[in-house]
Amino acid sequence: MAKRREQEHLLQQASRQQLLGGRIDRREFLTRSLVAGLGMAGIGTVAKSSLTPALAADRPLTPTFYQWIEDLHPSIPKVNAKFPGLNYQIAPVEGFGIERFVAESKKGESTWDVYAGQTPFVEMSAMIKAGVIEPWDNYIPKEVIDDIIPSIRAECTVDGKLYSWPFLLDVITMGSHSGITKKAGVADIPATWDDFLANAKKIQESKAAPFGATFDAHGWRSVAPMAHSLNSNVYTSEGLFDFTSDQAIAALELMKKIMAVSHPDILLEGASDGGVNGTPDEVAFAAERVGYQVKYQNAPLRMAHNWKDPNQLRLGPMPKFANGEGSTVFWTTGCALFKHGKNKEKAAEYIKALTYDRQIWKDSIAGTETGHPGQMPPYKSVYAEWAANKPDWMPEFVGLVRTQLDKARAINNHLFGLQQFVIGKPIWETFLKGEEPNPKVAMQKVVDAVHAEMKRAG
Amino acid sequence: MDQSIASTGFGAPPARRPKHRTGRVDRLRENAGSWLFLFPAVLFFFGYQVYPIFRVIWISFTDYQFLSDKPAKWIWFDNYIDALSDPLMWSSLWRAMYFTILFLPGCIILPLMLAVLVDRVKTPRLAAFYRVILLIPAVIPSTLVFVLWKWMYNYQVGPINHLLVDTLGIFDLQTAPQWLGGTPLTLPSIAIMEVWWGLGYHAIFFLAGLAAIPKDLPEAARIDGASEWQVFWHITRPRLAPIMMILVVLRFGSAMAVIDEYLIFGGFNRATPTYTWTIYMYDEAFKTGLWRQGLGAAIGMIGAVAMMIVVLVLLRVFRPKD
């Protein structure tokens, strides 16, 4: 009851301020006052559309996070503590679903002010198209925008505007189990795919491990980065991945060769998040059954946490084709600003504090008792600071991943940025399973299927 | 007629009412109290059941795309034609039906057998103990059940493959069964999990039915020389038929419309056996392009109509014969 009275008072105050500020007229003010005074749930529901903005105007900063971010980064609450009254929440986005955000936006509302968990190529285009988010440009300080690594800034930018404030950086790299590679007498970090395959074969033949190498079969984690390792200029004029390019065909053939030295379940879907996480490559690497794993750096780090000796993990750049440019794929998980959210200046202040917080980066990179995500910051100044004065907790892989980033390229932002790989996967797998002998035929079918779905979508 | 009953509004109107219209008004007045009490349930029924169904039917005839700001346009049967001409619609319906065929016998026959066995336990404490054991899976939250079985079925570190590969040596690491994630074993594996999960819950239905059978019937049959099988087939089974019908219809509906398990075990890979019409509907409505909810609604309606046809057949097959 006391809480309701407090809410009524807040509502009255908010409405009064809006009346004095000329944002609402007397009629609206009286309507709200009546509703607040009556305090009846039924009338409140009827008048919800006019009440929500008034309540929202006075609400505290309300960020919402994808659950895994909180799980992997235990220092976030420490940053939150610096913002008294912050209404920190977990987002209803299981399996990258943004339905709730879109539904609220259609009504011109948003329960939250900022969402931490947006991966540009996955859902940013849809969020922009649906009018859910707005650019950060009016709120992000200029020194911050200039501090973002250029390739990351490009990833987060659409039509010259920054729609994602980058937070956690992942780059497709390579992890190896030095206990296994040592036993097999092969290098921890092979430079080329030929060496990688030869080493993986030796691992199996020497019985150092049951399997030589593995990868995550989802296209944005395998086909795309492997294609980039030959040449990252692999996108069509409409912004889609060019599945029939020489790079994509080479990547597919490479995947088939890796499968010959890998675990039989490599192509199966994962066990969580709609099949995209908890994938068979992670299980094999965590169970110390495979020598090499190609994936974003936080995966081998997390998996090695299950080993008897996690210090046996080695991380390095993804191998390249003998004549390749040695690029890879990266993405950031960033923060989106809700168009119908509130507290936008405060949101910028909070996200700046969050993304520059040194404790978060130390915990992420060096690991804590609860986990070791290894995700890295998006800012030039942070790396420069570490280069000038290397912290004693800094592992070697940070430099390697940072170097990869100079060559890496993000997957283009597109409404079908992620979906093209989801649609294509079962089709290109016909080649990997031997059902279709010609990789070009398989990839042409992928292109046809993606175009057919785009045509259907209008 | 007892006046006190008539005055509650539940009895027949008094015979001396002069005019038909007055009688109707009076009846309405007398029933007003009942309608008042019924109002919340009626409101709920129309708000949460009837309205969404008609809304989905309406959407299925439009080109409504959730992410688009264009107003929905009436396009008649285009979405239905689009869906029905897509081979994915048929294959996804067949996958759901295949799962139901795998699941339904297990969720009827096994609990029935168990219930008959538990019903024969004469010691009350032991009978209660068996009932509790049976109900344990039913009270485990779905998330825990899925996590447990995902681990059980894991190709590399799951206990089932550990038994088959490391303990019994029937398979090696290259040939071990791939239970989940898109192989032909996926749907049977999920069906086994579902049967285990619902075993106790379904057995309780049959136990309730068995308790309602007069004990002298089977005893008289036994005295007349009937075998246990004859007692079951001619006495127990016909009296459990109504419960069987309810279970078959309910579980048919839930098996055809499974979505959570498929999302968790198979994702959106269109070639996997778990990509059924429910996932197809969700994929089109919430994942692909501008989220074609018109098409998604049409897929949902087609699935619902297909289910209703089968339910009608089931009701006829399992109708009480006596």
With CA atoms as reference, the chain A residue closest to B267 would be A274
Which residue do the tokens 């349930």 mark? B41
Question: Would the CATH topology of A63-169+330-407 be identical to that of A172-329+412-456?
Answer: yes
- Nearest Cα neighbor of B267 from B159, B186, B172, B178 is B186
- Tell me which of B264, B286, B290, B295 to substitute to probe the interface with A (most A C-beta atoms closer than 10 Å): B264
Contact A268 B155 (CB under 8 A): yes
Contact B121, B304 (CB under 8 A): no
In CATH, which of 3.40.190.10, 1.10.150.80, 3.40.630.30, 3.10.129.10 is domain A172-329+412-456?
Answer: 3.40.190.10
Q: Residue A269: which of B157, B182, B291 has the nearest Cβ?
A: B182
Q: Residue A425: which of B180, B181, B269 has the nearest Cβ?
A: B269
Contact A263 B268 (CB under 8 A): no
- What would the pLDDT profile of A134-165 be if each residue is shown by its tens digit? 999 999 999 999 999 999 999 999 999 999 99
What letters, b where the CB count within 10 A reaches 16 and e where it falls short, cover B71-102?
eeeebeebbbebbeebeebebbbebbbebbeb
Euclidean distance between CA atoms A429 and A57, whole angstroms: 51
Token code pair at residue B285:
């409505």
- What would the pLDDT profile of A242-300 be if each residue is shown by its tens digit? 999 999 999 999 999 999 999 999 999 887 777 788 899 999 999 999 999 999 998 99
* Four-residue CA torsion sign, A265, A268, A271, A277: positive
Q: Residue A453: which of B68, B263, B289 has the nearest Cβ?
A: B289
Would you kindly state where each structural domain of chain A is located, as residue ranges?
Answer: 1-41, 63-169+330-407, 172-329+412-456
With CA atoms as reference, the chain A residue closest to B261 would be A274
Euclidean distance between CA atoms A172 and A279, whole angstroms: 15
- Nearest Cα neighbor of A7 from A46, A51, A47, A64 is A51
B-facing residues of A in 311-330 (CB < 8 A) are: none
Degrees (nearest 5) of the Cα angle B87, B92, B96? 150
Contact B289 A457 (CB under 8 A): yes
- Nearest Cα neighbor of A335 from A352, A318, A357 is A352
Euclidean distance between CA atoms A431 and A257, whole angstroms: 12
Backbone angles phi, psi at A27, to 5 degrees: -60, -45
Q: Which residues of B touch A99 (CB under 8 A)?
A: 66, 286
Euclidean distance between CA atoms B265 and B148, whole angstroms: 12
B-facing residues of A in 90-109 (CB < 8 A) are: 95, 97, 99, 102
- Closest-CA distance, B67 to chain A, in angstroms, reads 5
- Nearest Cα neighbor of A293 from A192, A373, A189, A367 is A189
Amino acid in position A74: P
Q: Residue B182: which of A130, A268, A454 has the nearest Cβ?
A: A268
Q: Which residues of A touch B262 (CB under 8 A)?
A: none
Task: Convert chain B into a string of H (helix), E (strand) and C (coil).
Answer: CCHHHHCCCCCCCCCCCCCHHHHHHHHHHHHHHHHHHHHHHHHHHHHHHHHHHHHHHHHHCECCECCCCCCCCECCCHHHHHHHCCHHHHHHHHHHHHHHHHHHHHHHHHHHHHHHHHHCCCCHHHHHHHHHHHHHHHHCCHHHHHHHHHHHHCCCCCHHHHHHHHHCCCCCCCCCCCCCCCCCCHHHHHHHHHHHHHHHHHHHHHHHHHHCCCCHHHHHHHHCCCCHHHHHHHHHHHHHHHHHHHHHHHHHHHHHCCCHHHHHHHCCCCCCCCCCHHHHHHHHHHCCCCCEHHHHHHHHHHHHHHHHHHHHHHHHHCCCCC
Amino acid in position B264: I
- Establish, for the pair of chains A and B, how many residue pairs have beta carbons separated by less than 8 Å: 113
pTM for the model stands at 0.82
Q: Residue A456: which of B264, B268, B292 has the nearest Cβ?
A: B292
CATH architecture observed for domain A63-169+330-407: 3-Layer(aba) Sandwich (3.40)
Backbone angles phi, psi at B61, to 5 degrees: -100, 10
Query: Residue B167 gets which letter from DSSP?
Result: I
With CA atoms as reference, the chain B residue closest to A282 would be B156
- Closest-CA distance, A450 to chain B, in angstroms, reads 10
At A456 the three-state DSSP class reads helix
- Among left, alpha and beta (phi > 0; psi -120 to 50; other), residue A235 is beta
With CA atoms as reference, the chain B residue closest to A289 would be B156
Contact B289 A271 (CB under 8 A): no
Would you write out chain B's pLDDT as a tens digit for each of its 322 residues? Answer: 344 444 444 444 555 555 566 778 888 888 888 888 999 999 999 999 999 999 999 999 999 999 988 899 999 999 999 999 999 999 999 999 999 999 999 999 999 999 999 998 989 999 999 999 988 988 898 888 988 998 999 998 899 999 999 999 999 988 999 998 778 999 999 999 999 999 999 999 999 999 999 989 989 999 999 999 999 999 999 999 889 999 999 999 999 999 988 888 878 889 999 999 999 999 999 988 899 999 999 999 999 999 999 999 988 887 766 5
Q: Which residues of A touch B69 (CB under 8 A)?
A: 131
